[in-house]
C-alpha cells in the first residue's frame, strides 16, 4: 500500500470477526427483549396476583410502574436490535466500520465496544457540541 493510498474498508477477515461479535450481541439482545416482553404481559406468571386482595392498590401501583419501566426498556432493546441488524447489513455491503460523517474507518476498539457505531469518536463529539 503506498502512502497516498488509504485503507477505505475493513478486510473480509475483520468483517467476519465483527459479524460474529454482532451475532452474539444480537442473540443476547433478543433474549433480553423476550424477557422484557414477558414481564410486561406476565405471560410466564403463575402466581395468585389476580386473586389476592391484600395490598391490591399498592401492588397495582408497583406493577404499573414496573410495566411502564419494562415497556421503556423493551423499546430501547428493540432499537438496539434494529441497530445491530443494520450493522449486519453494512457488513454484507462491506461498508461496516466507515464513519458516516468523515468517511474514515472507525477504530476497531470503538467497534468492539459499540459494534453498531456509525460515527467515529471525533464525529460523535462534534455532533454533540
- What's the Cα-to-Cα distance from 34 to each of 26, 27, 30, 38, 41, rounded to whole Å? 12, 11, 6, 6, 11
Determine, yes or no, domain membership for 83.
yes
Confidence of residue 3 (pLDDT cuts 50, 70, 90): very low
Report pLDDT for 57.
54
How many domains does the chain contain in total? 1
Residue 4 pLDDT grade (very low, low, confident, very high; cuts 50, 70, 90):
very low
Tens-digit pLDDT profile for residues 89-103: 999 999 999 999 999
Give per-residue burial for 94-103: e unless 16+ CB within 10 Å, then b.
eebbbbeeee
Domain presence at residue 111: no
Residue 30 lies in a domain: yes
What pTM, to 2 d.p., does this model score?
0.76
Give residue 66's pLDDT band: very low, low, confident or very high (50, 70, 90): confident
Segment 59-83 mean pLDDT: 81
Within a domain: 106: no
State yes or no: pLDDT of 56 exceeds 80: no
The verdict on residue 101 lying in a domain is no
What average pLDDT does range 74-103 have in this prediction?
96
Amino acid at each position: 500500500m503506498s502512502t497516498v493510498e488509504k485503507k477505505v474498508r475493513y478486510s473480509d477477515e475483520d468483517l467476519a470477526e465483527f459479524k460474529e461479535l454482532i451475532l452474539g450481541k444480537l442473540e443476547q439482545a433478543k433474549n433480553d427483549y423476550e424477557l422484557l416482553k414477558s414481564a410486561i404481559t406476565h405471560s410466564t406468571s403463575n402466581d395468585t396476583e389476580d386473586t389476592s386482595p391484600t395490598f391490591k392498590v399498592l401492588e397495582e401501583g408497583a406493577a404499573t410502574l414496573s410495566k411502564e419501566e419494562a415497556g421503556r426498556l423493551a423499546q430501547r432493546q428493540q432499537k438496539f436490535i434494529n441497530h445491530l441488524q443494520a450493522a449486519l447489513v453494512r457488513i454484507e455491503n462491506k461498508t461496516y466500520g466507515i464513519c458516516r460523517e468523515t468517511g474514515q474507518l472507525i477504530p476497531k476498539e470503538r467497534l468492539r465496544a459499540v459494534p453498531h457505531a456509525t460515527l467515529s469518536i471525533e464525529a460523535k463529539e462534534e455532533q454533540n457540541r
